[in-house]
Amino acid sequence: MDRVTQTQAAGSLPSRRLYYYSGGFLRERRLRRILTLAGWELKLGLPGPEDHIAVWGASPTASRGHAVAERRGANLLRIEDAFLRSVRTGREGEPPIGLLLDRSGVHFDPRVPSDLERILTTAPLDDYALLSQARDAIDRIRAAHISKYNAFNPLADLPRAPYVLVIDQTQGDASVVASRATPALFTEMLIMAQEENPGLRVVIKTHPETEAGHRPGYFGPEHAMGKVSLLTDPVSPWALMEGAVAVYTVSSGMGFEAIMAGHKPRVFGQPFYAGWGLTKDENPVPRRERKLTRAQLFAAAMIEYPIWYDPYRDRLCDLDTVISTLEARARATREDARGYVASNFRLWKRAPVARFFGSGRGVVFAEGDKIAAKAEADQRKHITWGAGDPQTTSLAIHVEDGFIRSRGLGAELVPPMSLVADDLGIYYDPTRPSRLESLIAASEKLPEGCRHRAERLVARLTSAGITKYNLDQPALALPEGHLILVPGQVEDDASIRLGTTEVSHNRGLLRGTRAANPDARIIYKPHPDVETGLRPGAIPLDEAAPYADLIASNADMAHLLDGVDEVWTMTSLAGFEALLRGKTVTCLGAPFYAGWGLTRDLGTTPDRRRARPDLIALAHAVLIDYPRYFDPVTGTPCPPEVVLDRIEAGNTGPGKPLLSALSKLQGLLASRSHLWRR
């Protein structure tokens, strides 16, 4: 039974009243919300014997709750942050994304068995689905570099491997005190790390709160002598583990991560993860005799024990949802930390872009000579819209709409819910490498947990009929026979200019498709931007009629993709959407999804595209790794699954009447698009 089910079943307890005597429970809105969703009724006053009293772990205020519980005969509910907490620390004001609710003890105090220890001791932990979920989650956490706190840079410089890793903690930390550890024990740990690994460098990793200046650790600069160095940079724990040949800790949560990274850490305290055959214990807990696998330990600590919260849907959730949330928010924080100087953005796009990339120092806009000056003065990164001129934007990050963009057209000034930011090129320009190409190539070795997420995302996207723009258009009755869909494109689009050679307009695409398929029933779908009169590329009906059996004007794209047998295209995203639906796709140009062995390529594709990912690996790179997503409801970075929720519900944020009026004016002035487009 998972934690959400346990919480629901707990409604049968005599009382769900939860009394508290700490101001933190009154101040922290997220804390109160999670407890309420978990079925607790927070109260002030004096409890009865059937009631519970909330205490925060072993905090200084916990003694108040203990005293009242002893006098009143009430029960205790001990509360702690879950092992995945947030992007930034609680001391920096960020609320938790999960809690540990324990009626027996505290997970870090071995004197009394906690609920977690009881799970580890007595629960079967042999369910195939549970252990598969655990393995998938470990894969995803490692791939996304997710930890308890996540305001670090996964690409930061690391010590040169190999090295021995010694993990510091903050002085007086509750888990250190509960393990009866002293400064002398930390010193002993450092000495043993050197003696057991002669000749190897020893790296001491400081705690994030020590780095931030909140609390001192047990090691300082005075310990960095000889082959011992102090690492204070905010690096990824997972990247750090890769170069380590041995890991030493007293009771740090990084010891748990070390186990998941494949190490058998030497443990000097008595944390929850010690004693199950996965650690080398200097001070073992005698009653812990069971031998567990990594997946079993993880399943108990991360799936069965915690209460997880979904901030987008305001409800309790499972671990997979939490990983997706932290992945999206951590990525935004990491990438946006330095802030941006933005150029080549139309006026209406500036506010959405500033929100989208605003998780760090924010976005300032500049043009011309001021770009380099602002970027250099503030050490900001430079972002620019579209491909730009490689000669003048060689160091810029190129921004474009993502592949699940919105519910409505960009040409109608509907703000995007996804954008891509490419530091190498841009996905629709095959004349030079792009970040998407590198992600697709790397996806050949996609971890299983990431594959399973991509499979779920693709299944949901296709079953819900979600495409790039998700326009409310009718489903068209389709003719009998072998059906080929030819999606029209905007003929001045950069993907046509950069990604085609012999065929670069809709007439040529239609003629070529008919010539190669004389007996097929060809359906031509004009591009929605062209149909609204906002972009060029229209074909008069009398010119299209000799080549197309049906002109699918204002028709639902998802329905067409589901109903046809093939798609022929130059570079349209519809080709990728067709691949997701299992259709045969022929490309006359070189779109981002061509050249990987999944399409029939009649155009010239880059020779560098030699990897052979399968469809799910391609989808993960295109829909998860490459774009970023933004939730218009909460105004925060989000995973793609949340964007699908918003699109399905039609809940894409408040309308913009001024932008709507401006888009209509653009339609009237379509022949003068140079007035607003660059």
Q: Give the pLDDT of residue 391.
A: 59
Residue-wise pLDDT tens digits, 254-293: 999 999 999 999 999 999 999 999 999 999 999 999 999 9
Residue-wise pLDDT tens digits, 121-143: 999 999 999 999 999 999 999 99
Tokens coding 613: 């990912």
Separation between Cα atoms, residue 200 and residue 450, nearest integer Å: 35
* Domain range 441-663, CATH architecture: 3-Layer(aba) Sandwich (3.40)
Does residue 585 carry a pLDDT above 70? Answer: yes
Strand pairing report for 381-385 and 397-401: parallel
DSSP string, 145-191: T--SS--SBTTS--PPSSEEEEE--BTT-HHHHHTT--HHHHHHHHH
Reduced to 3 states, what is the DSSP secondary structure of residue 31?
Answer: helix
Worst-scoring range by mean pLDDT, 318-332, 380-394, 649-663? 649-663
Q: Give the pLDDT of residue 527.
A: 87
Worst-scoring range by mean pLDDT, 233-247, 301-315, 506-520, 642-656? 642-656
Does residue 670 carry a pLDDT above 50? Answer: no
Separation between Cα atoms, residue 176 and residue 183, nearest integer Å: 10
CB 657 within 8 A of CB 348: no
Dihedral pair phi/psi, residue 88, rounded to 5°: -100, 170
What count of other Cβ atoms lies within 10 Å of the Cβ of residue 266? 21
Residue-wise pLDDT tens digits, 401-444: 999 998 877 667 789 999 999 999 999 999 999 999 999 999 99
Q: Give the pLDDT of residue 214.
A: 83
What count of other Cβ atoms lies within 10 Å of the Cβ of residue 638? 26
Rounded to a whole number, what is the distance in angstroms from the first to the last CA of the chain? 57
Domain ranges of the chain: 441-663
What count of other Cβ atoms lies within 10 Å of the Cβ of residue 195? 8
Average pLDDT over the chain reads: 91
**Higher-confidence position of 317 and 386:** 317
Tokens coding 22: 């700490």
Tokens coding 145: 């570099």
Does residue 663 carry a pLDDT above 70? Answer: no
Does residue 105 carry a pLDDT above 80? Answer: yes
